[in-house]
Amino acid sequence: MLGLGFSSGIPFLLVYVTQSAWLSEAKVPIGILGLLSEMTLAYKFKFVWAPFLDRYDPPGLGRLLGRRRGWIVLSQAAVMLTLGGVALGDPAHWLAWTIAFSMALGFAGATQDVVIDGWRITVAPVRLQALMSSWAEVGWRIGNLVAGAGALYLADAFGWRAAYLGMAGAMAPGVVAALLAPEPPVDRSAPATRPGLAATFADPIRDLWRRLGPMAVPTLLLVAGFRMPGYVSSAMAVPLFKSLHYSNSDIATVTKLFGFPVALGGTFLATAVVKRLGLMPTLFLGTIFASASHLALAYLAAHGDHGGGEFWLFALTVSTDDFAYAFASIVLITYMSSLSVTDYAASQYALLTSLCALPGSVLAGTSGFAIERLGFASFFVGTSLIGAPVALLCWYVWSVQGRSGRGPAAGAAA
């Protein structure tokens, strides 16, 4: 699980977030830079093909490795090939090439996430899922560190082409983990009967809607809005840092090397608070904490010394944002997991994560134009204010579930 989590953590940043530093150096206009955040849309629509990965074998590899492992290895190979394609591009002179391969990289990375989640849920009993998820999270953060700090350091030292080729090679531990992983016995052969196309797609949604009952709309709106401020903010974080003249190495040191232990601290704190206060109170705190942290970015934009001298202000600002993001993310993962049932775990979890990511990602596409009009400081104040209605919605869902004594987790368990 550690190795699979590691390979899962590599592609996402390389689709856009880390790459935005390369695009900024290539003088891509800020408005277009904001639109290019949509290259991660595959991660938001992965629920569309997730049900088919549960039911069909991968071509060629299914008989050799089994359905789950076969799809994992195939998706990892696709990630490596598309990283090589991005490396061969030149966004300063042929942006269309970079866009095409980055979108293909997003599709391959999203598919890898779906099949790894499906393997995790299927291979281990319920009593081991918390342990599996913990190791997956540690692996993912290490992979994220490599794809962020590692790629930026390589780019400063050897150029962006070498950085992306190096990231393709960094997928190797994940491939080894997939080859060593046990294949769930239930997935060694394709099912004898399959539902029709419409049922394959609709059954997980129908089951989720039925179990949530009257609270379906507010619960799903809460999931959709929870990370919206973070998605909009993160799309313009690296362009802010570049506008303040921080180097790739400075950004890597602060966002990844400093950010890694800080994010782990947020993860552990969220786990402890959930255990002590309960899931919904912690979710409510997470909405407030995560949105309020964007005010630190607004302060950095206004007082960050555009000569790059205020390094420790930069470090404190990013650490605050990273800690809040990790805290809120762990609580949200726990909440979405509580909404899923075993029969449709992979499909429903993919659906919920897509629902969580899609609105914020679409809104992030306008972020560059907003900054052209408002400036960085006002923009980050605005992203913080987006969290206010989300916090009110969370309080409403919490209060209704408290009165009824039956939340989504109870419904899922039933």
Please give the C-alpha separations between residue 36 and each of 83, 126, 230, 281, 350, in angstroms, as whole numbers. Answer: 17, 39, 17, 36, 23
Q: Which residues contact 280 (CB under 8 A, 6 or more apart)?
A: 394, 397, 398, 401, 402, 407
State residue 105's pLDDT score: 93
State residue 409's pLDDT score: 43
Residue type, 326: A
Instruction: Note whether 410 and 278 are within 8 A (CB).
Output: no
Topology at the third CATH level for domain 1-191: Growth Hormone; Chain: A; (1.20.1250)
Asked if domains 1-191 and 195-414 share a fold, the reply is yes
Q: Where are the domains of the chain?
A: 1-191, 195-414
State residue 407's pLDDT score: 46
Distance between CA atoms of residues 172 and 163, nearest Å: 15
CATH superfamily of 195-414: MFS general substrate transporter like domains (1.20.1250.20)
Distance between CA atoms of residues 45 and 47, nearest Å: 5
- Residuewise pLDDT in 10s, the chain (414 residues): 899 999 999 998 888 778 888 888 888 787 777 777 777 778 878 888 888 887 778 888 877 888 889 999 999 999 999 999 989 988 888 888 988 899 999 999 999 999 898 888 778 765 566 567 777 878 898 898 898 888 888 988 898 899 999 999 999 999 999 999 988 766 655 555 566 666 767 888 888 889 888 889 999 999 988 888 888 887 788 788 877 878 777 777 787 677 778 888 887 788 788 878 888 898 899 898 888 888 888 888 887 765 555 777 888 888 888 888 888 888 888 788 778 776 676 788 788 888 887 787 777 777 778 888 888 888 888 888 888 899 999 999 988 876 433 444 444 433
State residue 414's pLDDT score: 36
State residue 131's pLDDT score: 65
Please give the C-alpha separations between residue 241 and each of 178, 229, 238, 298, 327, in angstroms, as whole numbers. Answer: 37, 18, 5, 12, 23
